Amino acid sequence: SDEDRALLAAEYDPEPVPPEKTLPVLAVVGRPNVGKSTLVNRVLGQRQAVVQDMPGVTRDRVRYPAEWAGRDFILLDTGGWEIGVDGLDEAVSRQAEASVDDADAIVFVVDAVVGATDTDMQVARMLQRCGKPVIVAANKVDSASQLPDVASLWSLGLGEPFPVSALHGRGSGDLLDRCLKILPERGSVSVPTGPQPGRVALVGRPNVGKSSLLNALLGEERVVVDAVAGTTRDPVDETVMIGQTPWRFVDTAGIRRKMHKSRGADFYASLRTSRAIEEADIAMVLLDASQPLSEQDQRIVSQAVEAGRGIVIVNNKWDLVDEDRQDELAREYERELAHVGWARRINISAKTTWHTNRIERALNETLDGWRTRIPTGRLNAFLGQLMAANPHPVRGGKQPRILFGTQVHACPPRFVLFTTGFLDPGYRRFIERRLREEYGFVGTPIQIGVRVRE
Ligand code: GDP
Ligand code: GDP
C-alpha cells in the first residue's frame, strides 16, 4: 500500500550528515601501468603504519589516510575505471574527471620513459580546464641519465614535470613536499576521517533466524551508533561489535519489524532484501539448515552475487540438524550452490549461540577478499606465468593470447584482459581459479572482462 511505501521511504531517508573534520584530498590519476599503485604504496609506506582502507563515496575509488611532514591528508587512489565501448582513452579521462571532482589537488602520473601518449594528452587537456592545482609526476626516472626524457613532458601544458621513481623512491620526497604546497589546509570535500566499518546485510527468508542472530551478536556488547568515529547517525542501521571489530549492520529495523501478516509482505521483504544488499559490502546469507534449500534462498544468494557483494553463507539452526540432514545438505550444496563455492560457509545456532564466534573471521576474510586490489605490474607477471605454463588451446588454427591485463575495480574485483582473440569460457574459469589460488579473493565474486585487440 501507499502507506507501507511511505514508511519504507521515510526509513531510508538519511538524516543530515554532521559536519566533519575535512582533510584535503590528493588524487592520483593516470593511465594503467604508469606506476600509480607503486607511488601510492610508497607514499603510504613512508609512515610505516598499517594502511586501513577507507572506502569512499563510490566503490571504484579508494581513499587512504596519509601523512607527510606532519600533515594529514587523504590519498585518493583512482585505480578503477570502467573500460567501455569507447575504449581506454575515454575510460581513463572519465575516471580522471570524476576524481578531480572529489579532490583538492591532483598528481597526474605519466611514464617518462614512454613519454606523453594520446591518452595522456587528452587527460592533460581536461586537467588544464579543471581549475584545481595539478602536478605532473614524471615517473620511472630511475637514474639521472633519464632526466632528458622529462623535459618533453612540458608538452602536457601543466607546468614543470617532476621527475620521480616510485619504484626506488628517487625524488618521491620532493614530489610530496611539492604536493603539500599546493594542497589547501582544509579539504573542500567532506570525507569521514576514521576508518569505516564494513557494512553487512543480514539477509534470508522469513523465519531463518535473522532477529535471533542479531540479538545473539548484540548480546551485551551493543554499542551506540554514533560512538564510532566517522559514522553518521542513521536510525535503520546498527553498529555491532564482533570481536574487536565494529560492523555496520544495515537495515536492522527491517529485521526487527515483522511484516509476515500484511498483504504484499513478500514483495516488501524482497524489496528490503535487495536494498539492504545494495547498501552493504557483504551479504551474510542466513539459511535454515534444518529445512531443504528453497528457491527463495537461492534467489537471495544470486542477488548478492549479481550485486557484486562479498558473501558469507551461514547455516543456522544447526542444533536441529541430524546426520541424515547433514548428508542431504552436502548434496544440496553441490547441486544448488556450487557457483558460490568460494564463499565461506559456517554452521551455527543462533538459539544456543553455538559457533557464532566463527562469524568474525568469516566476515574479516570476506571483506579483505572483496577489497583486494592487485597492482598492474604484479597482475601481468602472474598472467605471463599462467600463459607460459598453460597456454590457451588452439582454436581454428589460432591461439588467443593475453596481451595485457589490469584490475579496473575493487569492491568487487573486476579485471579487464586485452587479448588477441576470444577466450574460451573454460579458460576464463581457469584464470579465475588461478587468481583465487594466488591472491585469495575469499568470499567475493570476481568479474573478468575481455577486450579483443586486432
Ligand atoms: P598502475 O597501473 O599505474 O597502478 O601501475 P603499477 O604501479 O602497477 O606499475 C606498473 C609497472 O611499472 C610495475 O611493473 C612497476 O613495478 C613499474 N614501475 C612503477 N614505478 C616505476 C619506476 O619508478 N621505475 C620503474 N623502472 N618501474 C616502475
Ligand atoms: P527471522 O524471521 O529470520 O528474523 O527469524 P527469527 O529470528 O524470528 O526466528 C524464527 C524462529 O526460529 C524463532 O522461533 C526462533 O526461536 C527460531 N530459531 C532461530 N534460530 C534458531 C536456532 O539456531 N535453532 C533453533 N532450534 N531455532 C531457532
Q: What is the pLDDT along the chain (454 residues), one digit of tens a residue?
A: 555 555 444 443 333 333 445 788 999 998 888 888 788 878 876 433 333 333 333 334 567 778 888 888 888 877 545 455 556 667 777 777 878 888 899 999 999 999 999 889 989 999 999 889 999 999 999 999 999 889 999 999 999 999 999 999 999 999 999 999 999 887 765 555 455 688 999 999 999 999 899 988 887 444 333 333 333 333 467 778 888 788 889 888 777 766 555 556 677 778 889 989 998 999 999 999 999 999 999 999 999 999 999 999 999 999 999 999 999 999 999 999 999 999 999 999 999 999 999 999 999 999 999 988 898 889 999 999 999 999 999 988 999 999 999 888 888 999 999 999 999 999 999 999 999 999 999 999 999 999 888 6
CA of 377 to the centre of ligand 1 (A): 6
CB atoms within 10 A of CB 364: 18
Ligand 2 site, CB within 6 A: 204, 206-212, 255, 316-317, 319-320, 349-351
- Cβ of 372 closer than 6 Å to ligand 1, yes or no, is no
Measured in Å, residue 300 CA sits from the centre of ligand 1 at: 40
Rounded Cα gap, residues 383 and 196, in angstroms = 33
Pairing of strands 198-203, 245-249: parallel
Tell me the residue type at 17.
Answer: V
Residue 106: what residue type?
A: I
Q: Quick check: 312 and 363 in contact, CB under 8 A?
A: yes
CB 337 within 8 A of CB 299: no
28 lines ligand 1 (CB under 6 A): no
Q: Rounded to whole angstroms, how far apart are CA atoms 277 and 203?
A: 8
Q: Is 252 annotated as a binding residue?
A: yes
420 in Cβ contact with 404 (< 8 Å): no
ipTM exceeding 0.85, yes/no: no
411 CA to middle of ligand 2, Å? 31
Query: In angstroms, rounded to a whole number, what is the distance separating the alpha carbons of residues 171 and 165?
Result: 6
Instruction: Using alpha carbons, select from 345, 281, 270, 338 the residue that is nearest to residue 313.
Output: 345
Question: How far, in Å, are 45, 80, 216, 345 from residue 51 at the CA level?
Answer: 9, 19, 31, 28
For residues 150 and 163, what is the distance between their CA atoms, to the nearest angstrom?
7
The cell 595522456 sits on which residue? 120
What is the residue type of 384? Answer: G
Contact (CB, 8 A) for 376 and 32: yes
**Would strands 161-163 and 134-139 be described as parallel, antiparallel, or unpaired?**
parallel
Residues making up the chain, counted from first to last? 454
CA dist., res. 335 & res. 330, Å (int): 9
Task: Supply the residue whose CA is at minimum distance from atom 24 of ligand 1.
Answer: 140
Is residue 341 marked as binding?
no
206 C-alpha to ligand 2 centroid (Å)? 9
Of all protein residues, whose CA lies closest to atom 24 belonging to ligand 2?
317
Determine the Cα–Cα distance for residues 72 and 65; give it in Å rounded to an integer. 7
From the CA of 214, give the closest atom in ligand 2: 7
